[in-house]
């Protein structure tokens, strides 16, 4: 992963974490509801992995936002 990609994944992860926390959902429950592993969610929220599209779709559904809105990073 190059520096630009790393920064994008860090921003995306921070956005997912912020939106999840705004809904008052803990990481373990959210991961379960999205049918992904808690460790995987942790890695995504901390920008340490490149999530697959299907995983991002599950997360956007769990957050009740469109995939487009989820991927919009300032």
Query: Are the C-beta atoms of residues 29 and 38 closer than 8 Å to each other?
Result: no
pTM assigned to the model: 0.94
pLDDT in tens, 18-28: 999 999 999 99
In the chain, what percentage of residues exceed pLDDT 70? 100
| Among the four given CATH numbers 3.40.50.10860, 3.40.50.300, 1.10.260.40, 1.10.1200.10, the one describing domain 3-69 | 1.10.260.40
74 has a pLDDT exceeding 90: no
């Amino acid at each position: 992963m190059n520096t630009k990609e790393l920064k994008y994944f860090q921003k995306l992860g921070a956005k997912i974490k912020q939106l999840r926390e705004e809904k008052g959902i803990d990481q373990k429950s959210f991961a379960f509801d999205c049918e992904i592993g808690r460790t995987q969610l942790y890695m995504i929220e901390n920008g340490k992995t490149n999530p697959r599209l299907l995983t991002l779709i599950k997360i956007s559904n769990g957050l009740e936002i469109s995939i487009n809105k989820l991927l919009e990073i300032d």
